[in-house]
Amino acid sequence: MKRIYLDHAATTPTDPRVVQAMIPYFSDIYGNPSSLHSFGQEARTAVETARNQIASFIMARPEEIVFTSGGAESDNAALKGIAYARREKGNHIITSAIEHHAILETCKFLEKQGFQITYIKVDPNGLVDPYDVKKAITERTILVSIMHANNEIGTIQPISEIGKIAKEAGIYFHTDAVQIFGHAPINVDELHVDLLSASAHKLYGPKGVGVLYIRKGTKFTPFLHGGDQERGRRASTHNVPGIVGFGAAVELAKEGMVQEAEKMTSLRNKLIKGILDSIEDTRLNGDPIKRLPSNANISVAYVEGESMLLYLDMEGIACSTGSACTSSSLEPSHVLTAIGLSHELAHGSLRFSLGKFTSEDEIDYVLDTLPGIIEKLRTMSPLYRKETR
C-alpha cells in the first residue's frame, strides 16, 4: 500500500544526511564534552560547531544558545527560568490561550506556586492582538510568552510587534518557535525576543534535542540543575550526536527552506482548495494567509476526527486531529475551541501537515481518497441527515 505521511507537525523523518553527520559521534568520537582529555575535546568541538551553526541561523551569539532535550524542555525552562529568577520583581506572566501544552501546563504549575497568568484570547483566525498584550501588562508582569506559529492551525503571530511592546515595557519576551524554526528565517533581534524555543525533530533533525535561545544578560534560573554544562544554564552530559544532528539539520534548512516553503504552500493550497471544493460543509481553520506553508487544518461537519484519521490511516494516509478522543482529557483541542469552533466542528477536525518530501501525487491521492471516507462516515453519523437537507 502507498503510505503518505502528512503529519510533519508531529514529527519529521530525520534527513539521511543528518543521520550521516551523527553516526561518527556514537562509537568513534564518543567523549564527554566536559572532559579535558582529547576524547572530550573532540566531542566539545563538535558541540561548539553545532552551536555556531544554530546561533548564526537566528542571528544570535553562540553563548546565547543552550541545548536542551526538546521543545517541551525549552518551554519549561524558559517559563520557570524567568519566573524563579524574577520572582522578587513580580509574579505575573502573560501568554495566549492557544499555546502548546508545554507552555500551558507549565503555567498551571506556576499558578500553584503563586504566579498569576493572563491567557490572551485570539481572534477567529487564531491571531493574538498585540494591543491585548499591551493592555494586560501590569507592574508585576515579568514575562510575556507568545508562540511564533501554532502547531494545530498554523497561524503565525505578529511576534515582532509583541516583542517591541514587551521590550518597551522592560519585560522579558519568550516565543515558542518550535513549529516555524527551520522553515522560515528567524532573526532574534528583529523579533525582539529574549528567549526562543526550538526542537530539532520538527526540521528533519533527531528527536530528543532542542534549543533555548537566551539573550545575553537575561536573568535566568536553571531548570535542570547539576553540572557546569552550558555555562551553568543546563546540566547533563551533552547529547553529542543529537546536537551534531541539530546543527546539520539547521545547515540543510538554511539552504532549502525558502524553496521548500514555496513548494509546500502551493501543494497545501491545492489540498485545501480541493477539499473545500469537493466536500460540502468543510471549513479551513486558522488564518488563510498568516499561516505555516505546511499546515492545512480542516473541520468536517457531522463526522468525528479520530474516525476520519483511522479511515485515512487504513488507506495509508497519516494525519492528526484535534478531536477529544485522542487526548485523555476528553476535551476537544483548546486551540479549536479558542477560535470559536462548536464542539462538533472541533471534534471533526483534521490536520494535514506537509513536508519537504511531500509530492503532488500524494496530495492528489488524498484528494481522491478523502471524499469517499467522509461520505461513509457521514452515512454512519446521526448528525448527518441527507433526507432532511
Ligand X SMILES: Cc1ncc(COP(=O)(O)O)c(C=O)c1O
* Window 326-365: residues binding a second copy (CB under 8 A): 326-328
Q: Work out whether 64 is an interface residue with ligand X (CB under 6 A).
A: no
Q: Is-catalytic flag, 325?
A: yes
Question: Which 148-177 positions form the footprint of ligand X (CB under 6 A)?
Answer: 151, 176
Dist CA 249 CA 139 (whole Å): 41
DSSP-based three-state secondary structure for 119? strand
Q: Quick one: how far is CA 66 from the chain centroid?
A: 18
Residue span binding a second copy (CB under 8 A) among the ranges 7-15, 89-97, 129-137, 266-274:
7-15
Site residues (CB under 6 A) for ligand X, limited to 98-137: 100, 102
292 counts as binding a second copy under rule CB under 8 A: no
Q: Return the one option of a second copy, ligand X, other proteins, none that residue 282 interacts with (CB less than 5 to 8 A, by type).
A: none
Q: What are phi and psi of 248, to 5 degrees?
A: -65, -40
Q: Which of the ranges 67-75, 244-252, 269-277, 328-336 carries the binding residues for ligand X, by CB under 6 A?
A: 67-75
The answer to the question of residue 209 lying near a second copy (CB under 8 A) is yes
Regarding 207 and contact with a second copy (CB under 8 A), the answer is yes
Pick out residues in 46-85 that bind a second copy (CB under 8 A): 68-73, 75-76
Minimum Å gap between C-beta 141 and other proteins is 34
> Three-state SS string across 263-293, please?
HHHHHHHHHHHHHHHHCCCEEEECCCCCECC
Pick from 211, 277, 221, 279: nearest CA to 57: 211
Nearest distance from residue 376's CB to other proteins, in Å? 9
Interface positions, 175-204, toward a second copy (CB under 8 A): 199, 201
Bin 347: left if φ > 0, else alpha if -120 < ψ < 50, else beta: alpha
**Residue 212 grid coordinates:** 533555548
Contact 349, 298 (CB under 8 A): yes
Nearer to a second copy, 59 or 310 (CB): 310
CA gap 232, 225 in Å, rounded = 8
Partner that binds at residue 63, options a second copy, other proteins, ligand X, none, CB closer than 5 to 8 Å by kind: none
The continuous run of DSSP H or E covering 318 comes out as strand 317-318
User: Which residue is catalytic, options 310, 325, 380, 383?
Assistant: 325
Number of residues that bind other proteins (CB under 8 A): 30
| Residue 147 interacts with a second copy (CB under 8 A): yes or no | no
Residues 38-57 binding other proteins (CB under 8 A) are: 41, 44-45
Alpha helices per DSSP H over the chain? 16-22, 24-27, 38-57, 71-85, 101-112, 130-136, 159-168, 188-191, 240-278, 305-314, 334-338, 343-347, 360-380
Q: Closest residue to ligand X, Cβ-based?
A: 71
Binding mask 221-240 for ligand X (x = CB under 6 A): ---------------xx---
- Cell reading at 41: 575535546
Sign of CA pseudo-dihedral 112, 118, 123, 127: negative
3-state SS class at 21: helix
Distance of closest approach, residue 30 Cβ to other proteins, in angstroms:
18
Catalytic residues: 325
The binding site for ligand X (CB under 6 A) comprises 70-72, 75, 100, 102, 147, 151, 176, 178-179, 199, 201, 210, 236-237
